[in-house]
Amino acid sequence: MSGRDFTERDIHMALDGELPGEDRAGYEAWLAANPDMQARRTRYAGDAEALRSAFAGVLDEPVPARLTRAALGEKPVVVERRRPRWWLAAAAALLLAVGGAGGYVAASLGGGSHDDSAQDQLAEEAIAAHVVYAAEKRHAVEVPASDLDHMETWLSNRIGMKLVAPNLSDDGFQLVGGRLLPAGGHRAAMLLYEDAEGNRISLFVTTEPAAHGKGIYAQSGEGPRAVYWLDKGYGCAVVGSLPDNRLSEVAKRAYEQLIAGMIS
Amino acid sequence: MDDRKAAIVSEIPRLRRYARALLRDRDGADDLVQDCLERALTRLDNWQSGESPRRWLFTIMHHLFIDRMRKVSRRGETAMLPLDADEALAAPAEQFGNAASREIFDALQAIGPDRRAALVLVSIEGFSYAEAANILGVPAGTLMSRIARGREELRGLLDDSSRRRAIRIVES
C-alpha cells in the first residue's frame, strides 16, 4: 500500500477509473476512516449514474437521415409527396375569399406548372415551426431583435441568400428575433414578430431551387395558416392565426421588403 | 462506401449523445452534429488513418460548440441560466423520458459550458482524462479541476431542484 495522503481529488479519479491500482486499498481505507468523504463518493457516484442513464437512450434512437447524408457527403434527397385532392378545393375556396384583399395570391392554382409537393412542404414546415416556436416565451428565438445586424448576417450566411428582416411596424408588428431551422434538406430562417396584443406571426425563408408558385395553405381545422411564395431559388412563407385578409396584407408587405432586401 | 466514411457514420450515435448533453434542444444538437460531419468531410486528411475517428470527431464538434457558446455570450443571451420550473415542465416530454432525467438535463444546462463539456466527456462518454484533455485542448490539471467543479455544481443544482419539487408537493 502506498503511504500517500488522499484528498477529494482522489474521489473523482476513482470514479473516472483514473486511480492507479496500487492506490486503491489506501483509498478505500481513507474513505472508511472519513465518513464525510465516503458520503461524497456515494453521492457523486449516484449523480454519475443518473447522468449516464438520462442520456443512454440517445444511442438507440434512429439516426436522422440528414446526418448520415452529411457524413457521406451526399446531396439531400427530395422526397416526393402527393397533395391530397381535398386540399385543392380548400385552397381554391381560400384564394377566392382573399383574392380581393391581396390580389397577388390570385389564381395560383390555375396553371398546374408548379411543384405542388414543394409548396406543401414549405408551408407545412413553416406552420410546424410557427406552432413550436411562437408558443415559446423565453426561447422563441435564438438571436433577439436587439442584435439585428448579427442576426441578419448569420441567417443570410446560413441559408445562402441575403436576408433583410422586413419592418412590419406599419402593421403593428415588431421583430422579436430569429432562428435557424432545418427545412427538408435545406436550412431555413424563421423571423418572429409580435404585435401589441401578443399575437405572433412568423416569416419562414428558405432556399428552394426548382419550384415556382404561390398561395395560401391551411392544415385541417383551426390553427395557423401560411401565405407562401416559391420563386427563383427561394421560398418564403408568412404564418399566423390572423384573419386571412389581414395575414395576406402583412405577408405582402413582408414579401416586398424581402425582395427589396435581397437585391439591395 | 468508403471505409473512412463508414467509420464516421458509425460514430454518429455517440456524437448525437454528446451534442444532446451539451445543448438544450434536439434539433439544435443535431445541427451541431451535422456541422461537425460537414466540417469533418472537408478535413478527412487531418484524420490519421488506422485510428478510430472518435476522438478526432469529438474534437471538431467541441470547437464548433465553443464557437457557438462564444457567440451566445457575446450576444448577452441568457442561454446558460436554469429554466424556471414552469418552463422546465413545458419542455417536450418525449425528449427526456422522466422527471429525473429532465432534472439532470436542466441541471447540466445550468453548468458553465467548459465544465459541462469536461464532465460529459468523462462521465457519459467514458473518455480517459488524457483523451478528454486532448479533445478539449487543455492540460490534464485543468480538465480535472473542471470535472471536480462541474460535479460539485451539478450536485448543488440537483439539490435545488429536489427542494423545489418538495415545495411543489407541499403546495399542491
Q: What is the CATH number of the domain that holds B142?
A: 1.10.10.10
| Pair B85, B75 in one domain | no
| Pair B22, B55 in one domain | yes
| Pair B55, B133 in one domain | no
| Pair B27, B64 in one domain | yes
* Number of domains chain B contains: 2
What is the pLDDT at residue B6? 86
Q: Can you tell me the distance from the alpha carbon of A166 to that of A156, in angstroms, rounded to the nearest whole number?
A: 14
| Stretch 128-147 of chain B: residues touching chain A, C-beta under 8 Å | 128-129, 144, 147
| Pair B39, B102 in one domain | no
For B133, list phi and psi in degrees, rounded to 5.
-60, -40
| Pair B129, B155 in one domain | yes
Answer yes or no: are the C-beta atoms of A37 and A8 closer than 8 Å: yes
Choose the mutation target among B15, B36, B37 for the interface with A, i.e. most A CBs under 10 Å: B37
The percent of residues in chain B predicted with pLDDT above 90, rounded, is: 48
| HSE (side-chain half, CA atoms, 13 Å) at A10 | 19
Number of H helices, E strands in chain A: 8, 7
For B154, residues 6+ apart whose C-beta sits below 8 A from its C-beta are A47, A51, B107, B108, B111, B119
Q: What are the tens digits of pLDDT across the range B32-88?
A: 999 999 999 888 887 876 677 899 999 999 999 988 887 766 654 433 333 333 333
Question: With 60 as the cut, is the pLDDT of residue B160 above it?
Answer: yes
| Stretch 190-229 of chain A: residues touching chain B, C-beta under 8 Å | none
Burial class of residue B17 (count of CB atoms within 10 Å of its CB; 0-12, 13-18, 19+)? buried
| Pair B38, B8 in one domain | yes
Place of cell 449514474: A49
CB contact under 8 A, A71 and B14: no
Rama region for B126: left / alpha / beta (φ>0; ψ in -120 to 50; rest) = left
What is the pLDDT at residue A117? 66
What is the pLDDT at residue A35? 95
CATH number, residue B69:
1.10.1740.10
Nearest CB neighbour to A47, from listed B40, B97, B155: B155
| Mean pLDDT, residues B109-133 taken together | 94
Q: Does B169 touch chain A (CB under 8 A)?
A: no
Domain boundary among B51, B79, B107: B79
ipTM comes to 0.82
| Mean pLDDT, residues A171-180 taken together | 94
| Mean pLDDT, residues B97-111 taken together | 82
| Pair B100, B134 in one domain | yes
Distance from CA of A147 to the nearest CA of B (A): 7
Distance from CA of B169 to the nearest CA of A (A): 22
| Pair B89, B21 in one domain | no
Domain boundary among B79, B105, B120: B79
What is the pLDDT at residue A4? 82
Question: What domains are defined for chain A?
Answer: 8-59 (no CATH), 85-263 (3.30.200.100)
Q: Which residues of A170-207 are buried (b: 16+ CB within 10 A; e: fewer)?
A: ebebebbbbbbbbbbebbbbbbbbbbeeeebbbbbbbe
CB contact under 8 A, A181 and B27: yes
Chain centroid, CA A13 distance in Å: 40
Question: With 50 as the cut, is the pLDDT of residue A192 above it?
Answer: yes
Q: Which domain holds residue B58?
A: 1-79
Question: With 60 as the cut, is the pLDDT of residue A230 above it?
Answer: yes
| Mean pLDDT, residues B1-11 taken together | 84
Q: Can you tell me the distance from the alpha carbon of B25 to that of B162, in angstroms, rounded to the nearest whole number?
A: 23
| Pair B3, B74 in one domain | yes
Report which of residues A227 and B127 the model is more confident about.
B127
| Pair B75, B92 in one domain | no
Domain boundary among B54, B79, B104: B79
What is the pLDDT at residue A89? 41
The percent of residues in chain A predicted with pLDDT above 90, rounded, is: 38
Nearest CB neighbour to A63, from listed B12, B77, B123: B12
CB contact under 8 A, A73 and B13: no
CB contact under 8 A, B27 and A182: yes
Q: Residue A135's closest chain B neighbor by CA?
A: B90
| Pair B107, B156 in one domain | yes
Question: With 50 as the cut, is the pLDDT of residue A79 above it?
Answer: no
